[in-house]
Chains A and B, each alone.
Chain A
Amino acid sequence: MRANWGGRLFDAGNIIFLTMTAFITCFPLYYVFVISFITPEQYFRGGLILFPEQWTLESYRYLLSTSSFVKAAGISLFLSTAGTLCSLIVTSSFAYALSRRRMLGRKAVLILVLLTTLFQPGIIPEYLLVRDLGLINSLWSLIIPTLTSGWYIFLMKGFFDNVPAGLEEAAKIDGSSDIGVWIKIILPLSLPSIAAIGLFYAVSYWNTFFHAILYINDAKKYPLQVLLQNMLIDSSTAVGNEVAAELSQQRLMPPEMLKMAAVVVATVPILLIYPFLQKHFAKGVMLGSIKE
């Protein structure tokens, strides 16, 4: 291997560049994290705060004492668990059926799935459908319309295509039906892949925002992202005011610190599953990069 000067210079420059990129990515998150843990006194003193003089959970105590915030977090937790479960069941059963070549009409259904990835009818017809189904202001309106998508179906079908046919035949001889094979053999065998897709589903349900502003008008049913929007960005709306009113009873706490604490609380669940997500990035490749 030739290690010439130009090569070394390039290596050094490359490492500096990548370190700077990582720093730019980190800094906003780090800053928000730090501010949420400092004392109000340090905040009021101002200046660039890069480290807490004294760690305190004060802002979190205030934030978690507001009932609407806790409730919205609970709703998002419900969406993430119930939604992920429903999505996985529908996606995996559909994908399994589509992976069996003996199924009559399989080609036609595959084309039906493919077409959905090419053309979107738009916001209005979907809104009218959800309204006609009576789902407005129901939390199910945030789950049912996003149960599955063409990309996820194709991805999971790809996993099932690779399950050896011999296993299925053996179970058939033992008297299992197709549903039995799906539950007893296919699902356990592809559990890692299913778990990976489940994590991606969970993140997207946790981050649900667009559908929530379309379908949920009742402030008591806002998921966390909508409440956060009211708190952080649009504090003129009713809910923003409600939270602000609840919070301003404790005047000592600057609102910025509470906002930053709210950002941290909403980010922590993502950070918790991030290591598991990371294991499956390769599988998320198609989802993340192509779906967009």
Chain B
Amino acid sequence: MDSEAAPSAAGPVTSLPLKRTKGRYYLRRLLRDRHLYALALPGLVFLILFKYVPLMGLVIAFMNYSPFLGIMDSEWVGLEHFQRFFSNADFFMLFRNTLAINLLNLLFFFPLPIMFSLLLNEVRSEWFKRIVQSIVYLPHFLSWVIIAGICFLLLGSEGVVNKLITAAGMKPMNFLTNPDFFWGLLTAQSIWKEAGWGTVIFLAAIAGVDRQLYEAAIMDGASRTRQAWHITLPAIRNIIVVLLILRVGHMMDVGFEQVYLMSNGAVSKVSDVIDTYVYRLGLQQAQFSFTAAVGMFKSVIGLILVILANRLSKRFGEEGIY
């Protein structure tokens, strides 16, 4: 209400009062909603500090950043770190590992939750369905440390699996230290941990399908396979596309925790991915600028992939993610 007292001070210029009233209108709205802004403040500060300040911190990728000199005084080197990374032999290895792990995941993991939810949808007994769901959702909530730990306990040289193999008269297998098994092991772990949980989103969509569609299909003599193909699958098609976009957008990401925990000296040639490389060279050897460049390369490729996948899905008449 104080703001009402001001207009008498307005000058003789005719266009000014209009501007002023407009400015005052906004000011009044800001004042009226001051409590809302107070509520938004912690979150906003957090976002700016932890999401946008690090973004600016990426300038060190173009510098020879030294913690002692600070960002202001460190020397600019342009694209030197990127050139060094691309001409490095590690680059090919990291790229191959990342791509291989993700392609295996796309091929063997991605279709499973879809298939699994179609099968769960066909179960007639509610309680059986619920028990199976309760069990297969659980591993999603366990940490990678627990899952890697269980793997080591069960598959190690002294583990129960190898004890059974020796009891059967065969030679024990090095599941954990054999480079040939590593990618498969990661894929199997991901399936064990997340394939069940992945059905949640599909089952929620299937639950929203109008039952009358199924009744009509039965009247027309459609078999259950045909019902699944013509009713259930189209109902979740959009979600499949959205998840596929997100999956493709994350083609450069490999879960750091999983790889870091499962890797060891014997498999390092096939286990090293960009994030573990950045962690090792950046944090353990303090090559901040070089690894910031490597990380930035990864983020940029990831962003381009998401945008491309989104465009593609819109072209095919599906909704995108943004």
Residues of A within 8 A of B (CB): 1, 6-7, 10-11, 14-15, 17-19, 21-22, 24-26, 28-29, 31-32, 46-48, 89-91, 93-98, 100, 102-104, 109, 112-114, 116, 118-129, 144-145, 147-148, 153, 177-179, 182, 203, 206-207, 209-210, 213-214, 225-226, 228-229, 232-233, 256, 259-260, 263, 266-267, 270, 274, 277-278, 281-282, 284-286, 288-290, 292
B154 x A31 contact (CB < 8 A): yes
B299 x A119 contact (CB < 8 A): yes
Cα–Cα distance between A290 and B201 once the two chains are bound (Å)? 9
B299 x A120 contact (CB < 8 A): yes
Q: Knowing A209-B143, A281-B200 touch, does A128 contact B160 (C-beta < 8 A)?
A: no
Q: Knowing A93-B42, A100-B36, A127-B283 touch, does A259 contact B149 (C-beta < 8 A)?
A: yes
Residues of chain B lying within 8 A (CB to CB) of residue A95? 43
Q: Does B58 contact A (CB under 8 A)?
A: yes
CB nearest neighbor in A for B150:
A28
Inter-chain pairs besides A119-B55, A124-B278, A209-B257, 11 sampled, C-beta below 8 Å: A28-B154, A103-B33, A109-B44, A125-B57, A145-B50, A147-B46, A179-B35, A209-B143, A233-B148, A263-B153, A285-B201
B43 x A289 contact (CB < 8 A): no
Residues of chain B lying within 8 A (CB to CB) of residue A6? 223
A102 x B57 contact (CB < 8 A): no
Q: Does B100 contact A (CB under 8 A)?
A: no
B141 x A203 contact (CB < 8 A): yes
Residues of chain B lying within 8 A (CB to CB) of residue A203? 141
Which of B29, B52, B120, B153 lies in contact with A18, CB distance below 8 A?
A: B120
Residues of chain B lying within 8 A (CB to CB) of residue A90? 42-43, 46
Residues of chain A lying within 8 A (CB to CB) of residue B292? 122, 124-125
Cα–Cα distance between A224 and B59 once the two chains are bound (Å)? 35
Residues of chain B lying within 8 A (CB to CB) of residue A127? 282-283
Residues of chain B lying within 8 A (CB to CB) of residue A266? 143, 145-146
Q: State the majority secondary structure of interface residues on B.
A: helix
Which of A17, A113, A126, A274 lies in contact with B138, CB distance below 8 A?
A: A274
Residues of chain B lying within 8 A (CB to CB) of residue A267? 142, 146
Residues of chain B lying within 8 A (CB to CB) of residue A213? 260
Q: Does B251 contact A (CB under 8 A)?
A: no
Residues of B within 8 A of A (CB): 26, 29-30, 33, 35-40, 42-44, 46-47, 49-55, 57-58, 60, 116, 119-120, 122-124, 128, 131-132, 134-146, 148-150, 152-154, 158, 160, 163-164, 167, 192, 196-198, 200-201, 204, 218, 223-224, 242-243, 246, 250, 256-257, 260-261, 275, 278-279, 282-283, 288, 291-292, 295-296, 298-299, 302-303, 306, 322
B38 x A10 contact (CB < 8 A): no
Residues of chain A lying within 8 A (CB to CB) of residue B322? 114, 118
CB nearest neighbor in A for B196:
A25
A121 x B39 contact (CB < 8 A): no
Query: Could you write out 15 A-B pairs with CB less than 8 Å apart?
Result: A17-B119, A25-B196, A28-B154, A47-B167, A90-B46, A97-B43, A104-B26, A119-B299, A121-B296, A123-B295, A179-B35, A228-B145, A232-B153, A288-B197, A289-B201
Cα–Cα distance between A7 and B144 once the two chains are bound (Å)? 40
